[in-house]
């Protein structure tokens, strides 16, 4: 493909090759001993469980798979997250939840002597995570008394004040180590988007002239902490998420296989927009497909096939023949064809928009739940 002559084309060519490389003759879950599971969009949407997700995860636990739930949300305690999951019918207790606050505290514990004072700039989850690893959490209002904090751990806190950020800026200017739980710029609310932790991280970074170590998705530390909690190896662990730019990119950064599940924010067409954000090992429409064999994409003379479904990309859109394939298998074939065509320069503009709409329509029923 001549798309290999450009950076974007190379990334898309690699995405196609990766999609062609994987298949599972038996159930997909049989390839792994542990599962790192994202929450919003995979397990629940808002306050409601994603249809079928609790049943699948309970079955996986019965079959011996170890599961942890990894979240960028640093404000909530693991016990609170576990309680929410249990109410939805999922098998979860506090040790089954790994937060970005815990990943941040672990990173600081590796850098500081036990008992070091750390400014806890965030919600209750930040302070609790620091205490768990033997560090002393110090609230911003009290940071001026006693020994100066050796570090700042910054996570989202809805009760933080301007004075709290001023206290953090003062200690950061004096050289305190700085770790941020996550860089999410926005926080979804019922009414729209509010500033997320990343927005406040940017505020401090512009003030003090340096950037923190960020541990949450799409960076590797949260996934590394999750694998450590599972007691598995990287090779035996699967990360499941609905976002390419956080969940899948973070798994790639940590060296984990990943399953991109299409029940959340990102529709199939998102892979055409940002393959550089992270190419998934597997593409599934819902968690139940972890219990099924995985049909691989195969290249044919005039397109791509998957379980009898066939797809070919043209400058105007996708030619599709479902055959006996399930919709997700046709999506896989369509993605491979579209990535190939866009990488070679065949698919642009109006044609690319048409392909995106066709791919997303294939799973519109399953995505609506």
Same domain, residue pair 116 and 189: yes
Quick one: average pLDDT of 145-172?
94
8 pLDDT exceeds 80?
Answer: no
Percent with pLDDT over 70 in the chain: 93
In a domain, 64, yes or no: yes
Same domain, residue pair 52 and 32: yes
Same domain, residue pair 145 and 183: yes
| Angle between helical axes of 100-109 and 124-132 (0-180°, round to 10) | 40
Burial of 366 (0-12, 13-18, 19+ CB in 10 A): middle
Please report which confidence band the pLDDT of residue 3 belongs to, taking 50, 70 and 90 as the band edges.
Answer: very low
Comparing C-alpha atoms, which of 263, 106, 250, 236 is closest to residue 179? 106
Which stretches of 174-306 are DSSP H helices?
A: 197-208, 221-230, 249-254, 270-273
> Which of 60-69, 226-235, 311-320, 360-369 is predicted least confidently?
360-369
- Element of type H or E holding 103: helix 100-109
In a domain, 89, yes or no: no
In a domain, 81, yes or no: no
Give exposure, 1-24, as e/b (b: 16+ Cβ within 10 Å): bebeeeeebbbbbbbbebbeebeb
Instruction: Report pLDDT for 365.
Output: 54
Last residue of a domain, one of 245, 264, 294: 294
What span, in angstroms and rounded, lies between the C-alpha atoms of 196 and 202? 10
123 pLDDT exceeds 80?
Answer: yes
Percent with pLDDT over 90 in the chain: 67
In a domain, 87, yes or no: no
| Chain mean pLDDT for the chain | 89
Please report which confidence band the pLDDT of residue 10 belongs to, taking 50, 70 and 90 as the band edges.
Answer: low
**pLDDT (tens digit per residue) in 170-207:** 999 999 999 999 998 887 776 777 889 999 999 999 99
Residue given tokens 């392909």 in the structure block: 355
What span, in angstroms and rounded, lies between the C-alpha atoms of 351 and 291? 35
Same domain, residue pair 116 and 191: yes
> Which of 31-35, 118-122, 324-328 is predicted least confidently?
324-328
Same domain, residue pair 126 and 175: yes
Instruction: Report pLDDT for 58.
Output: 95
> Which of 86-100, 120-134, 341-355 is predicted least confidently?
341-355
In a domain, 364, yes or no: yes
Same domain, residue pair 226 and 247: yes
Instruction: Report pLDDT for 244.
Output: 92
Instruction: Report pLDDT for 340.
Output: 87
**pLDDT (tens digit per residue) in 38-64:** 998 899 987 889 999 999 999 999 999
Residue given tokens 């976002």 in the structure block: 243
Query: Has 257 been annotated as catalytic?
Result: no
Same domain, residue pair 116 and 209: yes
The residues, ordered by sequence, that sit 6+ positions from 133 with a Cβ below 8 Å of its Cβ are 105, 106, 108, 109
Same domain, residue pair 117 and 191: yes
In a domain, 10, yes or no: yes
The domain in which residue 123 lies consists of 101-214
Within 10 A of 194 (CB to CB), how many other CB atoms are there?
12
What CATH number corresponds to the domain at position 191?
3.40.50.1000
Can you give the pTM of this predicted structure?
0.89
Please report which confidence band the pLDDT of residue 1 belongs to, taking 50, 70 and 90 as the band edges.
Answer: very low
Burial of 318 (0-12, 13-18, 19+ CB in 10 A): buried
99: its two tokens:
């937060």
For the chain, give the longest Cα–Cα distance.
73
DSSP assignments along 209-231, one per residue: T---EE-STTSSHHHHHHHHHHT
Same domain, residue pair 201 and 237: no
Please report which confidence band the pLDDT of residue 35 belongs to, taking 50, 70 and 90 as the band edges.
Answer: very high
> Is residue 290 within 8 Å of 312, Cβ to Cβ?
no
In a domain, 83, yes or no: no
Into how many domains does the chain fold? 3
Last residue of a domain, one of 171, 188, 214: 214
Of residues 342 and 198, more confidence is placed in: 198
Quick one: average pLDDT of 334-356?
85
Comparing C-alpha atoms, which of 67, 78, 71, 62 is closest to residue 36? 67
Same domain, residue pair 192 and 287: no
In a domain, 80, yes or no: no
Q: What number of CA atoms fall less than 13 Å from residue 94's CA on the CB side?
A: 10
Q: What CA–CA distances, in Å, run from 97 to 19, 73, 94, 100, 128?
A: 30, 11, 6, 10, 14
Please report which confidence band the pLDDT of residue 13 belongs to, taking 50, 70 and 90 as the band edges.
Answer: low
Last residue of a domain, one of 278, 294, 310: 294
**pLDDT (tens digit per residue) in 73-85:** 998 999 999 999 9
143 pLDDT exceeds 50?
Answer: yes
Same domain, residue pair 201 and 107: yes
Same domain, residue pair 12 and 33: no
Query: Has 340 been annotated as catalytic?
Result: no
What span, in angstroms and rounded, lies between the C-alpha atoms of 213 and 183? 10
What span, in angstroms and rounded, lies between the C-alpha atoms of 219 and 193? 23
Instruction: Report pLDDT for 277.
Output: 67
């Amino acid at each position: 493909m001549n798309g290999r002559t450009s950076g974007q084309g190379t990334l898309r060519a690699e995405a196609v090759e990766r999609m062609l490389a994987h298949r599972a003759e038996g159930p997909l879950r049989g390839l792994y001993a542990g599962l790192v599971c994202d929450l919003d969009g995979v397990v629940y949407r808002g306050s409601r469980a994603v249809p079928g997700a609790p049943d699948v995860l309970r079955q996986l636990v019965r079959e011996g798979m170890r599961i942890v739930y990894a979240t960028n949300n640093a404000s909530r305690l693991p016990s609170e997250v576990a309680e929410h999951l249990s109410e939805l019918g999922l098998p979860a207790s506090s040790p089954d939840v790994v937060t970005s606050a815990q990943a941040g505290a672990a990173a600081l514990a590796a850098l500081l002597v036990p008992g070091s004072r750390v400014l806890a700039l965030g919600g209750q989850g930040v302070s609790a995570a620091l205490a768990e690893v033997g560090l002393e959490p110090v609230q911003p209002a009290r940071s001026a008394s006693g020994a100066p904090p050796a570090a700042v751990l910054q996570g989202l806190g809805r009760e933080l004040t301007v004075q709290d950020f001023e206290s953090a800026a003062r200690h950061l200017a004096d050289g305190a180590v700085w770790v941020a739980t996550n860089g999410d710029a926005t926080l979804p609310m019922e009414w729209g988007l509010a500033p997320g932790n990343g927005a406040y991280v940017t505020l401090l970074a512009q003030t003090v002239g340096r950037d923190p170590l960020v541990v949450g998705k799409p960076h590797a530390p949260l996934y590394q902490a999750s694998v450590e909690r599972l007691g598995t190896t990287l090779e035996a662990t699967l990360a499941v998420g609905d976002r390419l730019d956080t969940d899948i990119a973070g798994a790639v950064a940590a060296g984990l296989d990943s399953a991109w599940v299409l029940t959340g924010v990102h529709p199939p067409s998102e892979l055409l927009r940002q393959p550089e954000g992270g190419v998934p090992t597997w593409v599934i429409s819902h968690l139940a497909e972890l219990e099924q064999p995985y049909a691989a994409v195969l290249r044919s003379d005039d397109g791509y096939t998957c379980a009898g479904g066939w797809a070919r990309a043209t400058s105007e859109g996708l030619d599709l023949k479902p055959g006996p394939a399930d919709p997700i298998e046709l999506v896989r074939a369509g993605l491979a064809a579209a990535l190939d065509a866009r990488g070679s320069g065949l698919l642009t503009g109006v044609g690319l928009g048409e392909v995106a709409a066709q791919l997303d329509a294939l799973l519109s029923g399953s995505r609506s739940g």
